[in-house]
Every structure is written in C-alpha cells, then in structure tokens.
Amino acid sequence: MDFWRLLGYSPTSFYTHSSPIDLHPKKPNSRPINLLDLCKEITPPCRLNPFLFNGHLQTFWTAVKSYDIPIYYKRHIFSAEDPTYAGTFAVDFVVEAYKDTDASLPPRTTYYTDNEFDGIGSMDDRPMVVTLHGLSGGSHEIYLRHVLRPLVDSGKWEACVVNCRGCAGSKITTGVLYNARATWDIRQVVKWLREKFPNRPLAGLGFSLGANILVNYLGEEGEKCELKGAVVCSNPWNLDVSSVTLQSTWLGLEVYSKTMGTNMRGLVEQHAEELAKNTRVDIERVRKIKYLFEFDRELQGPTWGYPTEGAYYRDASSCDSLLAVRIPLLAINAEDDPIAVKEAIPFIEFQQNRFAVLLTTAMGGHLSWFESGGGRWFAKPASQFLMKLAQDINLDKLSHSISPLHNGETSTSAIFNPMRRKLQVQSVS
C-alpha cells in the first residue's frame, strides 16, 4: 500500500482544455483568471480518513450514521408543462428553520401553503443553486446537505432541490418514473425561477445520477443555458461502461448493483398502482428483478422504447453532452469510485472543452470523501467554486460561444454533434 494512503492523503489531478476560458473579476482593473486557475485556487488538499483507505471502505461508510446537517425545506408540487412528459414533480426550497413539519415527508420538510407560494417571487439578486440528487435519493440526502450548508449559512445564497418523480415522498401521477436523461423537469424549474427571480444568478449542482442529468441538460441548452455555472459530483458519465464494469466483479454485482436494484424495486412498490397503468411495462417482471441493470431492462427500456438496457445507457450517458457545455463547469470524481468508475470518466472530452474542468482524487469512493472529523472533502471545492463564481466573477461578461469542438482546422466540413439523440419520444403514457 502506498505510504500516502496510510496518512489519508489523496493526490488531486486536473483535466481541461489547453486554453480554458477566461473569467473576468468584478474588482475593477483586475486581470482575468482562467477557469483552471480558479478551480485550483478553490481546491484544498485532499486529506481523508486514513482508516477508509480505498473506494469500497469510503463508499460503505455512507451507510454508517454520521452527524446531522439540518436543512429545512418547503415543498411545492409542479405540473409538467410539456404534455410529452405529463405528470407532477416536487421541488423543495431551502427555508429558515420552523417547528411544524409533515410526517408524510422526509425530515424537516413540509408543504408551502398556497398563499406562501403565491408570494415567493423576489427582485433580490442573491444567487440560487438548483440541485439534483442521486439515484432513488432526494433533498434529504446527507451528501447533498454537506454542500448546501456552507452556501445557505453564508446568508448570500438561496437553494432548491428538484426531486426526481416518485422520490423523497413525492407521488407519481402518470405511470412514468424518471430516467438518466430526464432533463425536462429541471428545464421547467429553471424557466420558472428566471421568471420569479429575474435578478438572481442561477447555478446547477448535481450528484451521481443527478450529475448525469444535469450535464445532459447543460449540453442540450448549450449557449442558451440560463445557469451561470455548475458543479457535478461522482457523475457516472458513460452508463454503459459503468454497468459492464459493475457486473464484472462480485462486489460490483452482488453489493452495488443489487443494492441499487433493490432501492429502485422498492421505489416501484411505493408507486406500483400508477406504474401498472403503463401498458408497456410488465410490473410483475419488475418486481422480480435483483440488479440495477435488470431494472433498467424491465422498466426503463419498455417505458421509453429502448430495446435493451445497453441502448438506454448509451443514449442517456452524459459523456458526449459534456462537449456541448457552454458555462463554467467543475466535475469532481474519485478514481477509486466503485460505482462511477474511472473507466467511464471522459478524460479526453474534458481536454476538448474550454468551459469544463475535471478534478479527480486518487481516493474518495462514491459521494464519500470522508475526512477524519466526519466531514466530506468534496463539499469544500464544490461550494467554494460556486461562491467564487457568484461573488468574485463578473458573470455578465461570460462568453458562451467558441469555435468548433475539434482542435484546429480540418479538411472536411463534417462537425460532430454531441447532442444527437437516438430516442424520439412521442408518447410515454
């Protein structure tokens, strides 16, 4: 074992374009700082708990009860505007602490009253982060609160969490769950936030599956994206590679894939009555699955028209979408992550995009990075990146367009379109 692992020290590495974008400080007469230098500036040394010296131990430790990070939410149920993705979804807004919560919802969560929500709009210019959680999670997840806490404690940030349909105590109303490229709900929320809070800079924050969805959204929006910056943590990037790698080892198959499959099967049971209305899905076959890839084969494939789970994974992966991102993006991955595996990280694609920086650590596991005191290291660069952008950078001077995606000129007129999609959704009901 390497000596640095015994001490808990995990080296960090950065990957980006040879000429990352310049960011212009708000302070007059200050020189621009490029995106890579900003990311290095806000990234502290990665020193983790030396007893959790590999990705499996780090990831397993997430099941151990840790100290609490109280975040209070009030929820509003949105109805989808796009009839193609008809249904409802829940958005939880971070609020000041209150006494009466709702026992039917996750801890420290209740619903907005109609009067409260009608008056939610504001002309203030506090930045707001729009957050997406991981597979079968929700706004209550502790990894998510590790990042939100320093932002809201600063008194300068607002935050909300878009819960995937059916997650965090929300209800499914149309027989359709969510998938790894379900960008329609965050798109509607960002549009709504821009109307309700016209002066607030908006940022994105995604974890695991939510990170994959967020990068897909950023790529789809391209130069028109309303977000000013984003952070993604433990993104699985290439879902096909991640799935194959998980199935290649006993731990990957019998621990990680089975646990995630069990979680998704449990989610289906909570909403079985509605999901059974989807005539494309055999709900009894879904109830018999053991592993995550079986769930995707039996539910996601039939729901969205994919012939195999592999076709779904390849279409929903965000590794190509990364090439179309046109806002400052920091991605954080651990190279020993047993779920969002190193083999799936698009190192070369990061070197093709001036707007994106990949920060990797040698250790850290999946959404873990546990330090000796119980904190999670990744919360520091994630929150500091967003704070730095909002407080020190003139976001109005950001240029979102660049020359073609390839380096240099070619002798042909062919241009790769990273946002091509094989799936043409007509109706999912």
Q: Which of 208, 317, 321, 368 is catalytic?
A: 208
Residue 216: how many other CB atoms lie within 10 Å: 26
Round to whole Å and give the CA distance between 223 and 48: 38
Query: Residue 376 forms beta bridges with which residues?
Result: 370
Known catalytic membership, residue 366: yes
In whole angstroms, give the CA distance from residue 358 to residue 162. 24
CA 320, CA 247: separation in Å to the nearest integer? 23
Structure tokens at 311: 């076709």
Residue reference for tokens 């500036």: 41
Annotated catalytic, 399? no
22 is a catalytic site residue: no
Catalytic residue among 243, 366, 368, 383: 366
CB 276 within 8 A of CB 282: no
Residue tagged active-site, from 170, 315, 337, 383: 337
Q: Which residues are catalytic?
A: 208, 337, 366
